[in-house]
């Protein structure tokens, strides 16, 4: 393991918003023993606060406005070129509000992670907290997964499960889920950077062993 950790794993983070998960990743990679290094943060929105978080941490930033391109494929081709200039081993989606083209996903197969605010495969897409409450769920949470061509459908790496309280609103549920996101996303990135996490033909592998369909479960 020490040999694996001696090499730095450069990471590029893609985001569209405030970047709270980015901040958790920045904090986790500044511990001194982390093999991961955030090489760049790229956003499709110039006003994304996540870019300021990156600048404050001395991390390279780029902005690529999707509205300047005709179609998803053209934007994704330019985005790929921008990412590859940093030669990352891992690309991390942290609130990147774009549906990615199949070509983009295939280009980064096995080194593209996303976090989603639900216990996948439940509630793919948006408004997950409201949907969980409307369904009367007793548990909710968040999931880190490898990205595939299926929206929010790639092999699961790790899920954090929290109880749904009687008094919960979508806002209170979101706040608690965010707290769990900030724990499990850095964990998954570190696993990858250490060489412990990979994508195999049958699904996600941790330490060479196939993870369950639900990924590694953490309950609070």
Hey, which residues are catalytic here?
Answer: 116
Omega cis (within 30) before 121: yes
**Two structure tokens written together for 155:** 């092999």
| φ, ψ of residue 127 in degrees (nearest 5) | 55, 40
| Phi, psi of 21, deg, nearest 5 | -70, -35
Taking CA 110 as the corner, what is the angle to CA 26 and CA 42, rounded to the nearest 5 degrees?
40
Query: Residues at the annotated binding site?
Result: 19-21, 72, 97-100, 114
Query: How far is 204 from 200, CA to CA, in rounded Å?
Result: 6
Q: In the structure encoding, which two tokens stand for residue 64, read together?
A: 């690529």
Instruction: Give the angle subtended at the CA of 97 by the CAs of 96 and 98, to the nearest 5°.
Output: 100
Rounded Cα distance between 200 and 220, Å, is 29
């Amino acid at each position: 393991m020490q040999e694996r950790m001696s090499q730095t794993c450069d990471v590029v983070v893609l985001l569209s918003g405030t970047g709270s998960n980015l901040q958790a990743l920045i904090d986790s990679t500044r511990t001194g023993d982390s093999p991961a290094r955030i090489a760049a943060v790229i956003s499709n929105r110039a006003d994304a606060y996540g870019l300021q978080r990156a600048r404050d941490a001395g991390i390279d930033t780029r902005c690529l406005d999707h509205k300047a391109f005709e179609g998803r494929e053209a934007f994704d081709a330019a985005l790929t070129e921008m990412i590859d200039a940093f030669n990352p081993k891992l690309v991390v989606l942290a609130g990147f509000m774009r549906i990615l083209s199949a070509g983009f996903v295939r280009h980064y197969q096995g080194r593209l992670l996303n976090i989603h605010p639900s216990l996948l495969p439940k509630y793919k897409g948006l408004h997950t907290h409201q949907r969980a409450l409307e369904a009367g769920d007793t548990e909710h949470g968040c999931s880190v997964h490898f990205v595939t061509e299926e929206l929010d459908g790639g092999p699961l790496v790790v899920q954090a499960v929290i109880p749904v309280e009687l008094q919960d609103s979508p806002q209170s549920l979101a706040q608690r889920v965010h707290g769990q996101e900030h724990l499990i996303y850095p964990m998954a990135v570190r696993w990858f950077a250490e060489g412990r996490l990979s994508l195999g033909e049958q699904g996600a592998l941790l330490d060479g062993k196939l993870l369950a369909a639900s990924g590694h479960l953490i309950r609070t």
